[in-house]
A and B are shown apart, each in its own frame.
Chain A
């Protein structure tokens, strides 16, 4: 069983706690106590590691905050008949609802400090076309992705992810081509030093702060991307049929955008050479640009679930999952 804290594949044993009627699931590697909800239902809800990779101020933390807001405050459960999410421990609840409160209160979460993060564990059940799973969200400071040594020290969680989530804010990069290449390079080197293999991973490139990019898309050959983004509220997810096909189409379009507009050929070549697959996604976590750390209007996240759907799609591969998706199980 994958320990949700150290991500070691260990046999987590149930141990009786002293002076207590309860027992605990302790990882023999890190001695952390895994939630019973995680340990007992591990087979029914297999873990999916979601590791945010990206430079400082590129929207990793805000993306997660907005995602939690979407899961808890928007109407997905109304539109998806079996869907619900629940946090698996107190820490995760604090993170989820703390972020929700911040966004509701019109403020943005603080920058994430540089450390090995504790995961935010969320059980997701009833996501259309996807198996039930436990999402393990890892977020650490963007500084960790500036040098491979820092990545090794503080972002070791990336090694266990089946899909790497590269969050890139194009408007915040002076030279997107170089910046994207640097991030990818750091990641690939860091993974090697961690003993991981990027060849076994899928790469999901997520363009964050899509509301900034939308202006760039407007009126040109990329208008369809702007339309996709603008119409990307959760209401669009109410009809999940064909949604993954649309995501694939948008991924192809974003690949073209990356080549033709950002001229990041080297990035694409390196990504395709090092990873199992490469897909693109675009999000707007807030729907509008903040004013400093304040939000002038209520947030309207756009396409916020696309990266998660990509990760779930890439994490559960094989004929069984393909059949279940086809059959609608």
Chain B
């Protein structure tokens, strides 16, 4: 059934449909208890080994669950890559109260035990050798023994503590929830202690000084929390600072694609009312605005909006627009000293990454507005850097693209100018300008109309299309009686001309 372009159903887009959520007030913080928890494994085990096996069993099940809820991973990846602090906090709220997986808990516990056990062994060796020259083999033996025991103990303890540890807590413990200055200060003290110990050891100040310094280091290592508490820096579980170091985590994982990230957010909303309260209205607003995104220049301006949700929406819309947004983003990225520079560069890279997915199927994707295929664009930004993106060869957009072959039809009786079938049929007679097509079908047209079409094709200097016409089939319908002259003109321009 042929249909006019204006009356077409919604074109196939690269994004998935949005599930609307109930509109609620946006709260600044999310109650972590409202978040969905993984299924708990009931166990009747009582002995240590039974409990251990049960824990190990749960560890295995937790891994399966992690695959089932992979939206967490996607949100973690987005959290790790974003440069917007407010936005990062809201993402963290979605996943921060998820339990730390057994593997990570065991690994970090084991590493901590390894370091602390080794230091304890060294301390014991120093105390044992008090007043006598230190025996290196004893010190080494005790240190290794301490490290092995500490590592094993750390592993076991972490496994047994299991899912009790949330990411929020774990990250807070890992960084002591210190701000960068405080963390730097603590690290400097530790480093200074190690250096001091090394030099006093070399200077022969004796074991007492060494014991004191190693003891302090051990105290600092084992009881960092105590030190933090003593210094009044402990902030509990509130992750004021813990996510600030996110750029250092799982750096090997790429940022998620826009579509998969939005799908993950919708999944989060589907399973958690807390997530729905915050993200539901944001996603709904995003979907509304996606229908009429507004000028990209305004969206670029919105990147400095005071409200994180507006910034998020603007960024997502800019990525959605793809190449259309490239010029204003390019302008923002080229302004040295602009607060938007980093963000604009970030978005350009995201557009590059998002649209590179289209590279392999470029000639099969059609922009419904320009009726041009998808193509490669390059945008020079600051310095020698160039961003490559894929989108409509004409307007650059990559939001709405139709896959499929296109037939240029010349038919005076064809209703509308585009028929969304497979392949797409676009009536040149109603458009009168060229578009990207793969075949020609002349159903009902006069010699003059055909010649006008052929003249446009012949004068087409589009470098992509120019070489294709000579290999293109042209079919002429049985009702179309063209003159011999016109048939020869067609034969001169197109690869094969067949009268049905």
Note all chain B residues with C-beta closer than 8 A to A22: 460-462
Is B413 interfacial (CB-CB < 8 Å)? no
A101's closest neighbor in chain B, by CB?
B448
Is A89 in contact with B393, judged by CB distance below 8 angstroms?
A: no
Q: Given A77-B483, A84-B485, verify A21-B458 contact (CB < 8 Å).
A: no
List A contacts of B460 (CB < 8 A). 22, 36
Judging by beta carbons under 8 Å apart, are A36 and B455 in contact?
Answer: no
Is there an interface contact between B452 and A85, defined as CB atoms closer than 8 Å? no
Q: How far is the CB of B392 from chain A (nearest CB, A)?
A: 10
The reply to whether A90 and B461 contact each other, CB–CB distance below 8 Å, is no
| B-contacting residues, A110-135, CB 8 Å | 125-126
Once A37-B455, A90-B455, A93-B452 are accepted as A-B contacts, the answer to whether A85 and B461 lie under 8 Å apart by CB is: no
A contact face: mostly helix, strand, loop, or mixed: mixed
Report if A23-B461 is in contact (Cβ < 8 Å); known contacts: A77-B485, A77-B488. Answer: yes
B459, A89: Cβ atoms closer than 8 Å: yes
Which residue from A75, A78, A84, A89 sits with its C-beta under 8 Å from B489? Answer: A84
Q: Is A275 an interface residue (CB 8 A)?
A: no
Residue contact A21 to B455, C-beta cutoff 8 Å: no
What separation, in Å, do the CA atoms of A36 and B455 have in the docked complex? 10
- Which residues from 70 to 118 on chain A have a C-beta closer than 8 Å to any C-beta of chain B? 71-72, 75-78, 82-90, 93, 97
Shortest Cβ distance from residue A268 to the other chain B in the assembled complex, whole angstroms? 38
Q: Give CA–CA (A5, B461) in the complex, Å.
A: 20
B464: CB under 8 A from chain A? yes
Write the nearest CB–CB distance from B344 to chain A, whole angstroms. 22
**Does the CB pair B459–A21 fall under 8 Å?**
no
Q: Assign chain A's interface to a size class.
A: 20 to 34
Q: With an 8 A cutoff between CB atoms, is A196 at the interface?
A: no
Asked if A179 is an interface residue, CB under 8 A from chain B, the answer is no
Q: Which one of A75, A83, A86 contacts B455 once the chains associate, using CB atoms below 8 Å?
A: A86
Asked if A35 is an interface residue, CB under 8 A from chain B, the answer is yes
In the complex, whether A14 has a CB less than 8 A from a CB of chain B is yes
Asked whether A24 is an interface residue with its Cβ less than 8 Å from the other chain, the reply is: yes
**B459: which A residues are within 8 A, CB to CB?**
35-37, 88-89
Q: Mark B434-457, 1 if CB is under 8 A from A, else 0.
A: 000000000000011001101100
CA distance A72 to B463 in the complex (A): 31
Q: Are A85 and B485 in contact (CB under 8 A)?
A: yes
Assembly CA distance A14 to B462 (angstroms): 12
The residue on A at minimum CB distance from B370 is A21
Question: Taking the nearest CB of chain A, how far is it from the CB of B370, in angstroms?
Answer: 10
Q: What 1/0 flags go to B70-106 for Cβ under 8 Å of A?
A: 0000000000000000000000000000000000000
Q: Are A36 and B452 in contact (CB under 8 A)?
A: no
Contact of B448 among A23, A76, A97 (CB under 8 A): A97
In the complex, the chain B residue whose C-beta lies closest to that of A87 is: B455
Chain B residues numbered 482-500 whose CB sits less than 8 Å from any CB in chain A: 483-485, 488-489, 492
Task: Tell whether, in the assembled complex, residue A84 and residue B455 are in contact, meaning their CB atoms are under 8 Å apart.
Answer: no
- B residues 39-60 touching A (CB-CB < 8 Å): none
Do the beta carbons of B485 and A72 come within 8 Å of each other? yes
Q: How far is the CB of B82 from chain A (nearest CB, A)?
A: 34
Q: Does B387 count as interface, using CB distance less than 8 angstroms?
A: no
**Interface residues in A38-97 (C-beta closer than 8 Å to B):** 71-72, 75-78, 82-90, 93, 97
In the complex, what residues of B have CB within 8 A of residue A83's CB?
Answer: 485, 488
Contact between A90 and B489, CB atoms less than 8 A apart: no
Q: CB of B394 within 8 A of chain A? A: yes
A82 to B485, CA, bound (A): 9
Q: Which chain A residues lie closer than 8 Å to B464 at the CB level?
A: 21
**Distance in Å from the Cβ of A142 to the closest Cβ of chain B?**
29
Chain A nearest Cβ from B476, distance in angstroms:
16
Interface residue ranges of B289-333 to A (CB < 8 Å): none
Give A85 to B464 CA distance when docked, in angstroms. Answer: 27
Given A77-B484, A86-B455, A86-B489, are A93 and B461 also a contact pair (CB < 8 Å)? no
A-B contact pairs, 21 of them (CB 8 A): A21-B372, A21-B393, A21-B394, A21-B464, A22-B460, A23-B463, A24-B461, A35-B458, A37-B459, A72-B447, A72-B483, A85-B485, A86-B451, A86-B454, A86-B489, A87-B455, A88-B458, A89-B455, A89-B459, A93-B451, A93-B452
Residues in B lying within 8 Å of A, measured CB to CB? 372, 393-394, 447-448, 451-452, 454-455, 458-464, 483-485, 488-489, 492
Known A72-B447, A90-B452, A93-B451; 14 more pairs at CB < 8 Å: A36-B459, A37-B455, A77-B488, A83-B485, A84-B484, A84-B489, A86-B454, A86-B489, A86-B492, A88-B458, A89-B459, A93-B448, A125-B488, A125-B492
Which residues of A pack against B, CB within 8 Å?
A: 14, 21-24, 35-37, 71-72, 75-78, 82-90, 93, 97, 125-126
10 nearest A-B residue pairs (beta carbon): A84-B488, A77-B484, A77-B485, A22-B461, A37-B458, A36-B459, A23-B461, A86-B489, A97-B448, A84-B485
